[in-house]
Amino acid sequence: MNIIVVGVSHKTAPVELRELLAIPVSRIGEALKRLVVYPSVKEGMFLATCNRVEVYAVVDDVDRGVSAVQEFLVHTHLAVSEEMLLPHLYRYVDDRAIAHLFRVAASLDSMVIGEPQILGQVKTAFELSLLHRASGVILNKVVRKALSVGKGVRTQTRIAEFAVSVSSAAVELAKKVFSNLHEKTVLLVGAGEMGKIAAQHLIRNGVRQVLLTTRNLHRAHALAERFHGKAIPFGELRSALVRADIVLCATGAPHYVIEREDVERAIRQRMNRPVFLIDITVPRNIDPAVKEIDNAFLFDIDDLENHVGHNQEERRREATKAEALIQQEVETISSWLRSLEATPTIVALKKRGDEIKQAELEKALGRLGPLTERERRTIESLATGIVNKLLHGSLVTLKTEAQSHNGLLFIEAARRFFDLPDDLQESSELSGQADPATSQHMTADEVPQNVEDEPLPAEFWMKPGDPAC
């Protein structure tokens, strides 16, 4: 058996193609059933986000399996032709496919390295595969390991600790000025989009009160309702500065809206309590000379982007550590998969030993004549012990060597050495049928508890209003 992944991502395909390949959740079950109907496809999982559409599959032949998945993608999406799709597809097999899944779960393949949503999305895709009985022994093991690796990367590295957007960088810097945001007041000056996003981030991080002012008081009231804050006439901006611990300026005005003198006056009236100012407009709306004032901390768009650039570099360094962790886990799961290849040979070898034992027992018992039940059991036990001892070393060696990179060659040699048939039937547990312990007679409510021993933290799940990425 082989594991493959066939798909497209933000790295290989434009959004116009990715959105055509998306499958609504209501149709995932139907799609998975059609996927595993292909003779070469034994197990399958469909992962779709705004940045990727991928099919993970266990197949009995790589070429036929890849062709089947490509055909599945084209036939599932009538608006997509082979000519449109094939140039953008990537195809990975076995170790590369496993490593890719692990990197995806760890967010190393995301548009923003370290983003939290992808792990929850992989888990959801797995739950759907379990629910619709498309996942079996192999995918169950591999995807569970991917979820474990994804969580491990986040706990063993600092890959998710550095802000990589201007708005989140503003929050990160605010926390350096004020260790606790819960008792702080934010003043949003203007209605620029980046300012509103930064305000949302600050609210999520617990700021106590939001004041809003724009030249259009009606718009200020609308924003106040949105942010559960208080609208202030633009003419009262200078007095509002006294109340604000954090000032977000995003007016789009072609001149300074807040002068150095305004901030100096506010600091005096605040009894020198610090104020954090963020100017995310071009041209700037806050006089840069404010940076020279004690207890006034001003950051403009360049400062924020430099901070983001530094954080991105930090994430890349942490990603290097994560890659090393992933490679270790890929080798572990690959060894397990290689060991599965030996299962039919081990079963056949045990069967051959049992057949020889039974044949020789019948001959011996026929020659000995009438025996007591105790004597018969003693002879049978002797024969069983001899066969087991003769085979034990070979079976242990076979299991061990099967996990090596030359495992298939060793298995083939064992088949020839013991005169076993080449076309051995796979063990029923590896035949591609869904794992009874995790997918048969399963309800939607039961699936999450069977996917991982521990639930994912809340940060890994989509929140209302988050983009479906």
List where CATH 3.30.460.30 sits in the chain. 2-156+448-460
* DSSP class of 358: H
List where CATH 3.40.50.720 sits in the chain. 166-309
> What global pTM score does this model have?
0.64
Query: For the segment 282-298, what is each residue's pLDDT rounded down to a tens digit?
Result: 788 999 999 999 999 99
Return the pLDDT at 438.
Answer: 41
Pick the CATH number of 166-309 from 2.30.40.10, 3.40.50.720, 3.90.280.10, 3.30.420.40: 3.40.50.720
The rounded radius of gyration (Å) of the Cα atoms in the chain is: 32
Token readout for 126 is 């797995």
Query: Is 249 designated active site?
Result: no
- Of the chain, the percentage scoring pLDDT greater than 90 comes to 40
CB 97 within 8 A of CB 146: no
How far apart are the C-alpha atoms of 223 and 192, rounded to whole Å? 11
Query: For the segment 44-53, what is each residue's pLDDT rounded down to a tens digit?
Result: 999 998 889 9
Q: Is 6 helix (H, G, I), strand (E, B) or coil?
A: strand
Q: DSSP labels for 18-83?
A: HHHH---HHHHHHHHHHHTTSTTEEEEEEEE-SSEEEEEEEESSHHHHHHHHHHHHHHH-TT--HH
Return the pLDDT at 11.
Answer: 92
| Rounded mean pLDDT, 87-105 | 95
Instruction: List Cα–Cα distances, 338 to 37, 58, 279, 402, in angstroms.
Output: 25, 14, 57, 6
CATH architecture of 2-156+448-460: 2-Layer Sandwich (3.30)
Query: For the segment 10-34, what is each residue's pLDDT rounded down to a tens digit?
Result: 999 998 888 888 888 888 999 999 9
- Which of the following is catalytic: 20, 23, 50, 301? 50
| Rounded mean pLDDT, 409-419 | 74
- Asked whether residue 460 carries a pLDDT value surpassing 50, the answer given is no
Query: For the segment 177-211, what is each residue's pLDDT rounded down to a tens digit?
Result: 888 888 899 999 988 777 788 888 888 888 889 99
* DSSP class of 292: G
